[in-house]
Amino acid sequence: MDLAGKTAFVTGGGGGIGAGIAAALIERGMNVALADIDLERAEQEAAKLGEHARAVRIDVTDEQSWAAAKAEVEAELGPVDLLCNNAGIATSPLLLDETSPRLFAKIMAVNVTGVFNGIYTFAPDMKARGKGHIVNTSSLNGLLAHGTFGAYSASKFAVTGMTDALRQELAPFGVGVSTLY
């Protein structure tokens, strides 16, 4: 996929792996939306990355937030060619039976539902155009469970499974799907 002049949407773009992805994509000539729940953090990162970076607020757990972010980004940068579902949360080491239901639900909402919401928001347009690519960030914990990270491992196994299924589903439409571990 030739990246020059195309548009990427990176969740968790305000820092860490997301900011690194954004920087690498800008180096390859893309316009990049750094989507993050912390808009100020995303704006600071976008300012560092220059004119091809744009910050947008998103709560990956909320469908309406996705719709608003998509509309805002596409109005300014055009259709999204590359979606990087990167936003995620983890915890300190914690036994699964000591993980509160509320914390478990939050991990699943951000790490699993957040990825699904991105797919739901952008995949239909990519299918209709017959091109695009989706990258979902998992973890080695999505391949090999690690004690004291049971909730996180469960969420990343879900991302791995969802991505593998999506790759099969979108291939006939010319849309690529990858997992970042």
| DSSP secondary structure, 118-168, as one string | HHHHHHHHHHHHT--EEEEE--GGGTS--TTBHHHHHHHHHHHHHHHHHHH
The answer to whether residues 18 and 87 touch, using CB atoms and an 8 Å cutoff, is: yes
Q: Could you give the residue numbers annotated as active site?
A: 152
pLDDT of residue 72: 98
pLDDT tens, position by position, 46-99: 999 999 999 999 999 999 999 999 999 999 999 999 999 999 999 999 999 999
Give the pLDDT confidence score for residue 132 in this predicted structure.
98
The DSSP element (H or E) to which 63 belongs, if any, is helix 63-77
- The string of pLDDT tens digits covering residues 100-132 is 999 999 999 999 999 999 999 999 999 999 999
d(CA 90, CA 41): 19
Question: Are 3 and 28 within 8 A, CB to CB?
Answer: yes
pLDDT for 173 equals: 98
Q: What is the pLDDT of residues 125-177, one digit of tens each?
A: 999 999 999 999 999 999 999 899 999 999 999 999 999 999 999 999 999 99
The pLDDT assigned to 17 comes to 98
Q: Is the pLDDT of residue 35 over 90?
A: yes
What is residue 96's predicted lDDT score, i.e. its pLDDT? Answer: 97
Q: What is the pTM of this model?
A: 0.97
pLDDT at residue 38, as a whole number: 98
Using only C-alpha atoms, the chain has a radius of gyration, in whole angstroms, of 16
Does the pLDDT at position 1 exceed 80? no
Residue 13 confidence (pLDDT): 98
Identify whether the C-beta of residue 84 lies closer than 8 Å to the C-beta of residue 8: yes
Ramachandran quadrant class, 103 (left: phi over 0; alpha: psi -120 to 50; beta: rest): alpha
Residue 2's contacts (CB-CB under 8 Å, 6 or more residues apart) are none
Instruction: Note whether 110 and 152 are within 8 A (CB).
Output: no
